[in-house]
Amino acid sequence: MLTAEDFKEGKVLLIDKPLEWTSFQVVNKLRWHIRKRFGIKKIKVGHAGTLDPLATGLLILCTGKKTKSIEQYQAQIKEYTGTFVIGATTPSFDLETEINEHFSTDHITERLLHETTQQFTGTIQQKPPIFSAIKKDGKRLYELAREGKTTEIKSREVTVPVFEITNIDLPNIEFRIVCSKGTYIRSIANDYGKALNSGAHLSVLRRTKIGDFSVTDAQSIDEFIAVLSN
């Protein structure tokens, strides 16, 4: 049986984040239930790597003394699966914003789709999306974007050991990507579309692994609350 001391000493929780939840909402929900279950006023809970609200999958949460290990988990290699839509772009590079431009896909073949992935494997330079939580001059980039302000974003070096197309049903293509900390899959979608001489945006994203941790071992929020209540 779990005790308040277990959570204060520190636990690593694997949660399967649902669609449309922010990572912060998951942290708040679990913290509230832990406090309520054991009648404690304070307990540290943090997550090791943000997932966008439109993404699902593995979220590592640390409690108590284990929150000191968050950076260690954040630094580990990650695996994602999902879907790109070819032939259209959005300002946010995903479904957070409406399609702003359409492109021809007449020239796109299965061979081209597979060969173009090679441009995005290894160590690459990547510009984060303007709709991101990165701070510039004290403001989040997405705040500037929503105000209609443009800002110069510097490229950063990221590593992508694996980028493979797993299914093609144009305009939708499914993928698996293994990448380093700080890689934006939305940016890969946008850049991949350009490399195809077309356009692309991200429509589905699921984080399946962080280091040796897998989403197959994760609990839903409801499952965690049920175990906590026993």
CA distance 181 to 160: 10
Q: Of residues 6, 16, 52, 191, which has the active-site annotation?
A: 52
pLDDT of res. 154 = 80
Using CA atoms, how far apart are residues 18 and 160, in angstroms rounded to an integer? 25
**Buried b vs exposed e over 90-128: b needs ≥16 C-beta within 10 Å?**
bbbbbebeeeeeebebeebeeeebeebbeebbeebebeb
Taking CA atoms, 13 is separated from 174, 195, 206, in Å, by: 28, 39, 18
Q: Each residue of 199-214: pLDDT tens digit?
A: 999 999 999 999 999 9
Please give the domain boundaries of the chain with CATH numbers for all domains: 4-75+212-229 (3.30.2350.10), 78-210 (3.30.2350.10)
| 52 part of the active site | yes
| Spatial CA neighbour of 185 closest among 78, 48, 70, 46 | 78
Q: What is the per-residue pLDDT across 169-182, written as a single tens digit (0 to 9) for each?
A: 999 999 999 999 99
Of 130 and 167, the structure prediction assigns the larger pLDDT to 167
Tell me the pLDDT band of 137, cut-offs 50, 70 and 90.
low
Q: Provide the H-helix boundaries in 77-195.
A: 110-116, 141-146, 185-195
Per-residue b/e over 154-178, b at no fewer than 16 CB within 10 Å?
eeeebebeebebeeeeebebebebb
Provide, rounded to the nearest whole percent, the portion of the chain with pLDDT above 90.
82
Question: Is residue 144 very low, low, confident or very high in pLDDT (cuts 50, 70, 90)?
Answer: low
